[in-house]
Structure 1
Amino acid sequence: MRIAVDAMGGDNAPKAIVEGIVLAAKEFKDIEFILYGDEVAINQYLDGEANIKIVHTDEKINSEDDPVRSIRRKKKASMVLAAQAVKNKEADALFSAGNTGALLTAGLLIIGRIKGIDRPGLLVTLPVMTKENSTFTLMDVGANADTKPENIHQYAILGTEYAKFVRGVEHPTVGLLNNGTEENKGNDITKRAFQLLKADKSIHFIGNVEARELLNGVADVVVTDGFTGNAVLKTIEGTALSMMQLIKSAIYDNGPKAKLGGLLMKDSLSGMKDVLDYSKHGGSVLFGVKAPVVKTHGSTEKEAVYFTIKQIHEMLASKVIDDLVEQFETKNTDQEK
């Protein structure tokens, strides 16, 4: 396995990126990491790992850069070179913590869509609060603000494949995010998407689901348009951070008794923090392109990088992309006949 890494992407690059890659390199000896970026800056954080190599470049894409223009004009940028390596089969996956729009553009324009998939979407894995070690998949969380019912139908197929191959869910349930559970709820897009999902016997569609039930594990895969999905994801992320801050303030701002109680509950609170920490489930996957393209937060630290590499390792080992290519290309061939 070979992973092309944009070592210069993100707020804490290259330090956090390289330190996270070093953690992963020690565990995943079957992965070769190709780091694209400033060789001198990257070498500061390496310790002679045999499965890490560097491809030097001085150019990088900044967070404020226009996504399409930067991909087309910055030909030697670390993200662009990493994407080209995947396109040329010199690497099997692309990882970055950099400019999200630029990474989506690189995935679509350089690596390319799987034939038959209209619009690849961003997929995330999030924790279920009511079941230990349980997760669900949400898609699309921001790749496409304007989405057709047919796109949502494809997200259900893509999400089902991811849940089966990567998360190991044998018969994943699929829910359509809506403003009510009744079949006639929603706008024109969700109503039409509902009928497409209902008619597809290859997926286990359970109907509409509401946002308040997501963290209770209402479905293994939840699909929606990119605008709604992004808003929901950021709401979940913000709520988790606010809850932890609220608990912390309640302990430290209310005298000795509260502090003693916090000390007695330290292990329980640590477990709660782990459940709320969505970064431990990996990054956002641009799913529907010809290779894994995975994004983690720009403010990420080394632990989140490690967990994202673990996620990519699972994707490559499961050969989920190969299965998608075969499934959609076969479907297209049959339709052309």
Structure 2
Amino acid sequence: MAPRANWKGFLRLSLVTCPVALYPATSESEKISFNQLNRQTGHRIKYVKVDAETGDEVTNEDIVKGYELEKGQYIEVSKEELEEIALESTRTIEIDEFVDRSDIDPRYLIRPYYIRPDGKVGHDAFAVIRETIREMNKVAIGRVVLTNREHIVALEPMDKGLVGTLLRYPYEVRSEAEYFDDIQDVKVTKDMLDLARHIVNQKAGRFAPEKFEDHYETALIDLINEKRAGKVIRPKERPKGENVVDLMEALRRSVGKEVGKQAAPAKADKPAKKPRKAAAGQKEMLMPIAGKKAAARETSAKKPAAGARRKSA
């Protein structure tokens, strides 16, 4: 089942309007997550909202937003007052301009969303807007309100739909001068560049996300499975880094290392299979932890009762 839309409204290019829905294009729900437990009892930790001065628990109905002017001095703002300043673009993505993709500094990118027609009407208008952006090879810049905040959104065609990427405002991007001004001006010799280029050429390829494994996630799965099986967890020996002072020597060694990899592709392929096997078992193990009922029932049928009790703790 497709996820629920984060936002529904209208996409408008001048007088051309169509109803659309906006969905998150990424998810981290498949990653392992942990609960905090009381070490003594094994019970989950529960957080409550309390008054910082009295220590009394406060209900949601009695909680209001406040802006801190000075230490301990706040300006209260009610929900009704926030609704009064709601922006007109709350229900409409208005396309303001078209720009080249290369004009958008990657520091301004926040997160992507899928945009598609909402319902059975408006597909023709949606297609006109989508194909216009595609034909012009441009990025459409508009505005959208999510969680009461107005965001800049960059719209690009993808297959039969659109991808809308939220953008930061200039005041949200820090100046690089704060971090780069103290970097020393170093003259890189031609020999160093030639060796570095050789390494780059040896590693050249095309970006394919499916090639990359989340090694930390795989290690977490192995850790939990080992503890589940009652194995003793012993610390592993960490590889020691080499202290190479001579930069040219380091570059030469790197070139030799990459040439060696090219000469033995069969050996390089074998270790890659292990993470894929771990990832294949990830779903079976993750679902009970994430609380997905169907998978939990399936897993509990396969596991002994003691294992099920330990998991719920």
Q: What TM-score comes out, normalization by structure 1 length?
A: 0.19
Task: Please state which structure has a larger fraction of its residues in helix.
Answer: 1
Task: Please state which structure has a larger fraction of its residues in strand.
Answer: 2
Structure with higher RCO (Cα < 8 A, 6+ apart): 1
